Amino acid sequence: MQALANLGQCKLVTGSIDEAIALQEQVIRLSPRDPFNGNRYFTIGSAHLLQSRTDEAIVCLEKGRNLSPRVAVTDAHLAAAYALKGETERAATALAEARRLSPEDSYSSIARLKANPWFSNSAPKVRDLFETTYFAGLRKAGMPEE
């Protein structure tokens, strides 16, 4: 299962977003009780967010958060999705939770997030999608640039 999930992550960062979703869904179908399915739903939700499918993103990210409640990145993506949908209070709450869960202060600024190798090593197409969705949502949620 982990190999398929990892392949899905690779597909996401290289821009094959629909393939990433299909692989993560396959992992969930094959192993519905896997303790890492929260991560699978996070990846699916992130893929939907990158494609501006905000409602689908929120559903998957909330499932991911429910299965893995102590994962800061899921709350950060939820903050972006909520903000893009205009749900500013929920966005602010999710961003505060991401910050609380991240002791290394990863969610203090957009610049800090962009320095993360996961983002900087993504394909240019994917970085552009992050800019127009994830980072745009985090800005609306109140995250500063620096």
Contact 72, 80 (CB under 8 A): no
Q: Which domains are seen in the chain, by residue range? A: 2-141 (1.25.40.10)
Residue 133: CA count within 13 A, CB half-sphere: 22
* Confidence category of residue 120, pLDDT binned at 50, 70, 90: confident
Contact 57, 48 (CB under 8 A): yes
Residue 97: per-residue pLDDT: 97
- In degrees and rounded to multiples of 5, residue 139 shows phi and psi of -60, -45
Rounded mean pLDDT of 86-115?
Answer: 96
> Which pTM value belongs to this model?
0.96
- Report pLDDT digits (tens) over 38-91: 999 999 999 999 999 999 999 999 999 999 999 999 999 999 999 999 999 999
pLDDT greater than 90 at residue 103 = no
- Report pLDDT digits (tens) over 3-13: 999 999 999 99
User: Which of 36, 14, 10 is closest to 23 using CA atoms?
Assistant: 10
Residue 18: CA count within 13 A, CB half-sphere: 0
In the predicted model, what is the mean pLDDT of the chain? 97
Residue 84: per-residue pLDDT: 98
pLDDT greater than 90 at residue 137 = yes
Residue 104: per-residue pLDDT: 87
Residue 118: per-residue pLDDT: 86
pLDDT greater than 90 at residue 125 = yes
